[in-house]
Amino acid sequence: MAPETPAQGPTPRYFTWNEVAQRSGRDKERWLVIDRKVYNISEFTRQHPGGSRVISHYAGQDATDPFVAFHINKGLVRKYMNSLLIGELSPEQPSFEPTKNKELTEEFRELQATVERMGLMKANPVFFLLYLLHILLLDVIAWLTLWLFGTSFLPFLLCAVLLSTVQAQAGWLQHDFGHLSVFSTSTWNHLLHHFVIGHLKGAPASWWNHLHFQHHAKPNCFRKDPDINMHPFFFALGKILSVELGKQKKKYMPYNHQHRYFFLIGPPALLPLYFQWYIFYFVIQRKKWVDLAWMISFYVRIFLTYVPLLGLKGFLGLFFMVRFLESNWFVWVTQMNHIPMHIDYDRNVDWVSTQLQATCNVHKSAFNDWFSGHLNFQIEHHLFPTMPRHNYHKVAPLVQSLCAKHGVEYQSKPLFSAFADIVHSLRESGQLWLDAYLHQ
């Protein structure tokens, strides 16, 4: 009798980078690559817990580094990915696309392993507990200010400043929970995220997730980073996009004056005139009823707390003054790291280059760390988005060494220089737009 032929498993399907790159559009299949394995995410995008857009931004590309950066339980996530697996890269295909720096990426992955071994991805629970307690304490002091000293101008103003501080600092704390950087499990991070952003701030966690993870995936990439959606209808951003806009003879605003009107429609207006109303539209339109319940708990709490002291008109005046002050704080801090940096379409460069060309740091100090929620370490935060913020300063020297070795610019500047650079960059891009609009 002839010997039995051993059973053969299914022959793996092999693909080239070109085949993957062709599956990137909205009207056809979407594929991406993680560790050389090819996944079809066409039907999965709407089920993706992080949102459909953030994963779609990597359709047609290698997503290994963002996959590692965003997920804290990669083994569990990979089990769910098995149903999406359709093959792998052909053996003759390189592990990196030609647009990416192979040596830089390999050394960054070594740095990631070093960071894990050093324990820098583990949070100190005491740090975050004290941070939450300092927010709650300020919240109580704000109310006691009116209760003890009355509702005249000075106590009213002091209360508004204290509540603005509460709102800004709670904004930085919800950012920690939203990035899954406090607890080792997603469940606890999500629960505390709902509490801080919903009950302490009155905003929906789903809205923040929808926008913020896109920003981290493709920072300063036009049409992929929602943080630069004010281009072109309000501002002309970045040298490349501003010149393009001028050549197209498009003028939605007098961009050559944008460094002036930024002070009117930027810091003072973003929260009270836009976010404050849009968040309700977002949760109702998307039927995010859990988020809406958390938001309502915030408004009920502050209404019952301050209306007995101030009356309805006084309460509304206090509320919008707080939103106005918080808006200025929020916009200056969040834009100082990005607006002055490189802004362009997605060029599919490697993870480190993507983050470094779009971010810069502000020098470390006790005040800067507190004032910005440690987002003065924007570079480290973008490279390691799930790292607890109290460890940014520990990994910063390692990141600087990596950048110096590979000729990648690592920018760090004083706080007020960072603020001024926002205005300087808006003036420059506005002038570039005007020159192209008139002469090209």
What HEC string does 110-146 produce? HHHHHHHHCCCCCCCHHHHHHHHHHHHHHHHHHHHHH
On whether both 42 and 142 belong to a single domain, the answer is: no
52 within a domain of the structure (yes/no): yes
User: Are 62 and 188 part of one and the same domain?
Assistant: no
Instruction: Tell me how long the chain is.
Output: 440
Residues 278 and 192 in one domain: yes
Whether 115 is covered by a domain: the verdict is no
- Which residue among 336, 361, 379 closes a domain? 336
Residue 276 maps to a domain: yes
For tokens 């006691």, the residue is: 144
Kindly state whether residues 83 and 136 are assigned to the same domain: no
Q: What pLDDT does 80 receive?
A: 86
The CATH number of residue 64's host domain is 3.10.120.10
Cα separation of 178 and 205, whole Å?
A: 8
Q: Is residue 105 part of a domain?
A: no
Helix axes 153-178, 205-217, angle to 10 degrees: 60
- Does 107 reside within a domain? no
Q: In which domain, by residue range, is 196 found?
A: 125-215+257-336
Find the largest Cα–Cα distance for the chain.
103
Average confidence (pLDDT) per 10 residues, the chain, 440 residues: 47 91 85 96 91 94 96 88 94 95 97 97 97 98 97 97 98 98 95 98 96 97 96 97 97 97 96 94 96 98 97 97 97 97 97 98 98 98 98 98 98 98 98 96
pLDDT value at residue 10: 60
Residues 142 and 281 occupy one common structural domain:
yes
End of a domain among 288, 314, 336? 336
Q: Are residues 314 and 166 part of one domain?
A: yes
Position 355 in a domain: no
Same domain, 45 and 153: no
- Residues 188, 324 within the same domain: yes
Question: Are 408 and 356 spatial neighbours (Cβ–Cβ below 8 Å)?
Answer: yes
CB crowding 27-37: b at 16 or more within 10 Å, else e: eeebbbbbeeb
The verdict on residue 315 lying in a domain is yes
pLDDT, residue 12, reads 76
The DSSP-derived string for 348-416 is ---HHHHHHTT--EE---HHHHHHHTTTT-HHHHHHSTTS-GGGHHHHHHHHHHHHHHHT----EE-HH
**79 and 164 within one domain:** no
Total domains in the chain come to 2
Residue ending a domain, among 291, 309, 336, is: 336
Q: How far apart are CA 356 and CA 369, in angstroms?
A: 20
Is 80 inside a domain boundary? Answer: yes
Q: Do residue 298 and residue 211 come from a single domain?
A: yes
- Do both 73 and 159 map to the same domain? no
pTM of structure: 0.93
Count of alpha carbons within 13 angstroms of residue 186, beta-carbon side: 9
> Which pLDDT score, from 0 to 100, does residue 25 have?
79
Sequence-distant (6+) residues with CB within 8 A of 29 are 23, 40, 42
Judgement on whether residues 78 and 160 belong to the same structural domain of the protein: no
